[in-house]
Amino acid sequence: MARRANRRIPIEASSGNVFADLGLPDAIDLDTKVRLAVKINKMFAAQRLNQARAAALLDVSQPKISALKNYRLDGFSVERLMNFIAALGEDVKISFSPRNSVRSHGKVVVEGP
């Protein structure tokens, strides 16, 4: 029987943004895009939209929908993704509030069902 080593593995708490944790320069934008894409993909599923129908509804090509569904988001701006959510039938609300911690930067939160 193999013996397990009693080594402690250091664990570092996440900032809540994996892109920032990886040190990427546009981490806030990347995190926001992913959160919006998650919402859009949930809306596609809830509305039972296939890629062709989603493309027609959003006035984009089917390969763009495929990229969105696979979280390849280089070709999408945050604004465009918010417009997709509106086109799919939900309102987009932008609000501002003071930070409640000592972080150096504010954060973007995407909420909703």
The predicted-structure confidence for 32-78, as pLDDT tens digits, reads as follows 999 999 999 999 999 999 999 999 999 999 999 999 999 999 999 99
Q: Give pLDDT, residue 6.
A: 75
The predicted-structure confidence for 88-106, as pLDDT tens digits, reads as follows 999 998 887 777 666 666 6
Q: Give pLDDT, residue 105.
A: 66
Q: Give pLDDT, residue 103.
A: 60
Q: Give pLDDT, residue 56.
A: 97
The domains of the chain are located at 26-87
What are 17's two structure tokens?
């943004």
Cα separation, 105 vs 20, whole angstroms: 11
Give 57's Cβ-side CA count (13 Å radius). Answer: 19
The CATH code for residues 26-87 is 1.10.260.40
